[in-house]
């Protein structure tokens, strides 16, 4: 069993990535964004209903985070910090949207002129919608087809947020087995996702 | 990429990997696309399982955010160029206008006097030579202009005029405006008569 003092906890992992990003390592920032993108979207979804708007606001949140990163001193955890930024950005988005609607009513002619209307241009293409739906369907199928012990381990970890030690207790098995089960569950889904993402990137390249 | 590396990524994202190994893996993920892809896919699975509040499934937002930031940086830099052009364009226009004006000054005399005289000041004038009038000099060649001499005898040559002015002084003033050989003879006779009468006295 690994000593708790020797492992890099999640807050420490975030701090290490933040330090790298502060040094100008954009890849480190990308890893951070992909790590917290869903949590941020979940927060924004409390205020904003539209899926496209949620994605836009989430993007705005991380752009703000990137700009404010030099000022982040680590007094609070990284997630606490971006949570506050996400809440403020979502609220500001609602206020700005309210003003836009109040001050600039959409003309019928403008609405018809699809290409010149910024509001309507942000809509996803049918390809993107299809890709997202396909991604979710594939993932759902992959998780459902996992062996019971792997599925239980990954759900206890990702949904219930238990540590490896707690899962080991819950499943009444050694912690090494938990490590292995969680990894095998992730790897099984990863194997299904890889060709799908490859197809998606090829499709994007062809569209370009 | 080995299974061990993937398992390390899995443990790293859960905060269950040893510090030394974590630091090494973090560095490696920044340059190894396969490892970072594994990180992204493992987090995509997490995203799928942690979706709440009817939020959409988020994936690859990191690349989109970085692309947007780079795009904004490019846009932020380009107005600086525009600003440069904004002040440079009128300056360039002024410079061209000034050059054209300077060329115009060199090519033309301004007054356009058909007699070939041109007043520079109220009390000073220049006269162009016949050659200059027929074939004006080019701007880049030196112009030779003669200083005008005021005269009441336009039909006389400049040399004669100068001689008369220097020789006769005030007497020149009484001479008529138009040169006439007969009148000059009469005049000379009158002068001779006056001198004779003086000598006779």
> For every residue of B145-194, which 3-state class applies, written as one string?
CEECCCCCCCCCCHHHHHHHHHHHHHHHHHCCCCCCHHHHHHHHHHHHHH
Quick one: what percent of chain A has pLDDT higher than 70?
A: 77
Give which of B118, B163, B108 is closest to B145, Cα–Cα: B118
Chain B partners within 8 Å of A21 (Cβ): none
**pLDDT for res B93:** 78
Residues of A whose CB is below 8 A from B76: none
Model confidence at B136: pLDDT above 80: no
pLDDT interval class at B92 (50, 70, 90)? confident
What is the per-residue pLDDT across B140-189, written as a single tens digit (0 to 9) for each?
555 555 555 555 556 666 777 777 777 776 454 455 555 567 777 888 88
Q: Tell me the CATH number at A75.
A: 1.10.1740.10
Within a domain: residue A158?
yes
Helix, strand or coil, per DSSP, at residue B143: coil
**CA A87 from centre of chain:** 16
Provide the residue range defining the domain that includes A169: 124-208
> What pLDDT does residue B199 have?
83
Instruction: Considering only the beta carbons, identify the residue of A38, A62, A135 that sits closest to B51.
Output: A38
Residue A120 pLDDT exceeds 60:
no
Same domain membership, residue A134 and residue A85: no
Of A94, A123, A152, the last residue of a domain is: A123
Specify if A2 maps to a domain.
Answer: no
Distance of alpha carbon B19 from alpha carbon A9, whole angstroms: 9
Distance of residue B78 Cα from the nearest chain A Cα, in angstroms = 20
For residue B80, what pLDDT band results from cuts at 50, 70 and 90?
low
Look up tokens 């819950």; give the residue.
Answer: A170
pLDDT at B113: 47
Picking from A88-102, A105-119, A148-162, which range would have the lowest pLDDT averaged per residue? A105-119
How much is the pLDDT for B151? 53
pTM for the model: 0.63
Q: pLDDT: is A158 or A118 the higher one?
A: A158
**To the nearest whole angstrom, how far is the Cα of A187 from the nearest Cα of chain B?**
8
In a domain, A188, yes or no: yes
Please give the residue that has the higher pLDDT: either A111 or A160. Answer: A160
DSSP A85: H
Please, which residues have CB within 8 angstroms of residue B135's CB and are 6 or more apart in sequence?
A: none
Q: Where are the domains of chain B?
A: 3-59, 62-107, 111-148, 151-201
Q: Which of A175-179, B174-178, B188-192 has the lowest mean pLDDT?
A: B174-178
d(CA A78, CA B27): 19
A90 and A142 assigned to the same domain: no
- If asked whether residues A99 and A148 sit together in one domain, one would say no
Q: How far apart are CA B47 and CA B61, in angstroms?
A: 12
Q: Which of A38, A66, A155 sits opposite B65 (nearest CB)?
A: A66
Q: What is the pLDDT of residue A86?
A: 95
CATH number of the CATH domain containing A193: 1.10.10.10
Question: Each residue of A46-94: pLDDT tens digit?
Answer: 999 899 999 999 999 999 999 999 999 888 899 999 999 999 999 999 9
B114 touches chain A (CB under 8 A): no
Whether residues A100 and A148 share a domain: the answer is no
Better-scored residue on pLDDT, B98 or B1: B98
Question: Among B21, B140, B98, which Cα is nearest to B7's?
Answer: B21
Of A98, A88, A81, A102, whose CA–CA distance to A14 is shortest?
Answer: A81
What is the rounded CA–CA span in Å between residue A79 and residue A85? Answer: 10
Residue B109, φ and ψ in degrees, nearest 5:
-90, -10
Banded pLDDT at B95 (limits 50, 70, 90): confident
The tokens of A38 are what? 């869903």
**Whole-number Å distance between alpha carbons of B76 and B73:** 5
> Are A20 and A100 within one domain?
yes
**Of residues A186, A157, A159, the one with CA closest to residue B14:** A157
- Minimal-distance CA residue of chain A relative to B23: A16
Contacts of A186 in chain B (CB under 8 A): 6, 10, 41-42, 45
- Is B26 within 8 Å of A157 when comparing Cβ atoms? no
What is residue A122's predicted lDDT score, i.e. its pLDDT? 43
Q: Which residues contact A90 (CB under 8 A, 6 or more apart)?
A: A43, A44, A46, A47, A48, A57
- pLDDT of B114 > 80? The answer is no
Quote the radius of gyration of chain B (alpha carbons, Å).
49
Across the interface, do B53 and A42 touch by the CB < 8 Å criterion? yes
Q: Are residues A54 and A98 in the same domain?
A: yes
Which of B11, B23, B40 is closest, CB to CB, to A179? B11
Average pLDDT over chain A, rounded to whole? 83
> How many residues comprise chain A?
208
Q: Is residue A49 part of a domain?
A: yes
Contacts of B109 (CB under 8 A, 6+ apart): B118
E-assigned strands of chain B?
17-18, 117-121, 124-127, 146-147
Mean pLDDT of A119-134: 62
Q: Answer yes or no: is A109 within a domain.
A: no
DSSP letters, A142-180, are: HHHTS-HHHHHHHHHHHTS---HHHHHHHHTS-HHHHHH
Higher pLDDT, A84 or A118: A84
Of A63, A135, A143, nearest to B69 by CB-CB distance is A63
Buried b (16+ CB within 10 A) or exposed e, A17-38: bbebbeeebbbbbbbbbbbbbb
Instruction: Count CB atoms within 10 A of the CB of residue A102.
Output: 8
Band the pLDDT of A121: cuts 50, 70, 90: very low
DSSP string, A91-116: HHHHHHHHHHHHH-PPPHHHHH-GGG
């Amino acid at each position: 069993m690994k000593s708790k003092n020797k492992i890099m906890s999640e807050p420490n992992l975030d701090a290490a990535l933040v330090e790298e990003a502060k040094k100008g390592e954009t890849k480190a920032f990308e890893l951070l964004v992909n790590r917290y993108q869903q949590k941020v979207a979940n927060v924004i979804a409390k205020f904003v209903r539209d899926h496209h708007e949620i994605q836009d606001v989430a993007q705005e949140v991380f752009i703000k985070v990137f700009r404010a990163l030099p000022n982040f001193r680590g007094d609070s955890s990284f997630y606490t910090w971006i949570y506050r930024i996400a809440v403020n950005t979502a609220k500001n988005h609602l206020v700005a949207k309210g003003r836009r609607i109040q001050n600039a009513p959409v003309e019928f002619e403008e609405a018809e002129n699809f290409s010149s209307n910024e509001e309507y241009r942000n809509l996803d293409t049918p390809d993107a919608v299809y890709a997202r739906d396909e991604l979710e369907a594939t993932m759902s199928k992959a998780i459902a087809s996992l062996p019971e012990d792997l599925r239980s381990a990954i759900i206890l970890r990702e949904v219930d947020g238990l540590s490896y030690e707690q899962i080991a207790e819950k499943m009444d098995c050694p912690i090494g087995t938990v490590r292995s089960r969680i990894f095998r569950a992730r790897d099984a889904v990863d194997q299904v996702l890889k060709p799908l993402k490859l197809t998606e990137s090829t499709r994007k390249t062809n569209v370009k | 990429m080995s299974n061990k590396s993937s398992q390390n990524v899995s443990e790293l994202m859960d905060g269950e990997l040893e510090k030394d190994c974590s630091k090494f893996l973090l560095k490696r993920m920044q340059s190894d696309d396969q490892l970072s892809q594994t990180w992204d896919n493992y987090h995509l699975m997490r995203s799928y399982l942690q979706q709440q509040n009817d939020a959409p499934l988020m994936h690859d937002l990191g690349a989109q955010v970085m692309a947007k930031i780079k795009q904004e940086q490019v846009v932020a830099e380009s107005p600086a160029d525009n600003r440069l052009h904004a002040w440079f364009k009128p300056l360039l226009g002024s410079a061209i206008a000034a050059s054209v004006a300077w060329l115009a000054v060199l090519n033309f005399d301004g007054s356009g006097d058909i007699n070939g005289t041109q007043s520079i000041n109220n009390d000073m004038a220049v006269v162009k030579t016949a050659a200059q009038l027929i074939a004006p000099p080019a701007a880049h060649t030196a112009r030779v202009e003669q200083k005008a001499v005021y005269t009441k005898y336009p039909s006389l040559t400049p040399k004669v005029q100068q001689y008369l002015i220097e020789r006769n002084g005030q007497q020149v003033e009484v001479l008529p405006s138009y040169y006439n050989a007969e009148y000059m003879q009469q005049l000379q006779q009158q002068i001779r008569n006056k001198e004779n009468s003086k000598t006779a006295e």
